[in-house]
Amino acid sequence: MPNDEEEQDRLAFMHHLFKLMLGGELFRAPIGQGQQPERILDVGTGTGVWALEMAEDFPNSEIVGTDLSPIQPNWAPPNCTFMIDDAESDWAFSKDEAFDYIHARVMGGGIGDWQRFLEQTYEHVKPGGWVEMQEYEAWIHSDDGTHEQATVIMEWQQKIDEASRKFGKKMNVAAQLKGWMEQVGFINVQDDTYKAPVGSWPKSPRLKEIGRVSKVTVWEAIEPYTLALFTRVLGYSAEEARDYVEKVREELLRSSYHLYVLFHFVYGQKPLEG
Ligand SMILES: C[S@@+](CC[C@H](N)C(=O)[O-])C[C@H]1O[C@@H](n2cnc3c(N)ncnc32)[C@H](O)[C@@H]1O
């Protein structure tokens, strides 16, 4: 995936969307109730916007954001630091640097071995601490069957899913995260799932706003994911992939279908004896 300015704008929209889904909150795990977390980790932090906002909300906590790509701002409040670290290799932290809370958002498509990844979150969280994965399903639904008329988008999502599997870094992991976290040993695992409408079709003003933002977010995601996966994995030329992007975007713009995607906020706790 690119890490240029356009991609960073896309991540800013996506951040806004995740917060809208949670009524302005940054997480679902029961942290900060009573004792404040000392150390918080954001894996695959991207532009670092989530980590920076957590640093503001938890001024007495230390927030660390890691990523492969150095696109975080040079300036950060003193309780927020960023470092380059590959989430798929052994993490850079020692045992006595454990975290109270570990967060990762939209890592689907970036991780090959989810079991290993979740095992590392388990290793690096303190007993009694929480780990939270925030992911959306790259899969459209509707409750009235209208999604079946969105034939180009349906075909596109199938191809993206197939290409990401072939590439070895599956995109659609959201619905499996709860089971995987339980297998690794987390307890009290919750999967809070929300419908995000795509487009301004809902009647409720809150859902309408979510729908508008999510439509822009989907529109912006179509190009980078298609160009990367279709050319590298499915054998499309750059021109063919670009034509495909136009076709999918066209259908998204003109569709009046009642589409939604599912957002999963999956969080679990490391047992005190673990
Ligand atoms: C879709 S972006 C999400 C960014 C951020 N979590 C957010 O929600 O705004 C995925 C991020 O994961 C990073 N990433 C992908 N694979 C990674 C890996 N193996 N180790 C660390 N970061 C990784 C990418 O560089 C990118 O910044």
The domain total for the chain is: 1
**Total residue count of the chain as it appears in this document:** 274
Q: Is 140 in the pocket of ligand 1 (CB under 6 A)?
A: no
Q: Which residue, by CA, sits nearest to atom 12 of ligand 1? A: 44
Confidence of residue 180 (pLDDT cuts 50, 70, 90): very high
* Ligand 1 centroid – CA 69 distance (Å): 8
Q: Is 133 in the pocket of ligand 1 (CB under 6 A)?
A: no
Q: Which domain holds residue 134?
A: 5-25+35-269
Residue 211, CA distances (Å) to 169, 198, 258, 264 in order = 28, 5, 10, 17
Q: What's the pTM? A: 0.96
Residue 274 falls inside a structural domain: no
- State the Cα–Cα distance between residues 71 and 84, nearest whole angstrom: 10
- State the Cα–Cα distance between residues 200 and 216, nearest whole angstrom: 11
pLDDT(87) > 70 = yes
pLDDT at 8: 87
- State the Cα–Cα distance between residues 150 and 248, nearest whole angstrom: 9
Mean pLDDT over 235-248 rounds to: 96
* Ligand 1 centroid – CA 247 distance (Å): 27
pLDDT in tens, 47-71: 999 999 999 999 999 999 999 999 8
Pocket test for ligand 1, best of 42, 69, 91, 116 (most atoms within 8 A of CB): 69
Q: Is 103 in the pocket of ligand 1 (CB under 6 A)?
A: no
pLDDT at 274: 52
CA angle 194, 196, 202 (to 5 degrees): 120
Mean pLDDT over 28-50 rounds to: 94
Q: What is the CATH number of the domain that holds 73?
A: 3.40.50.150
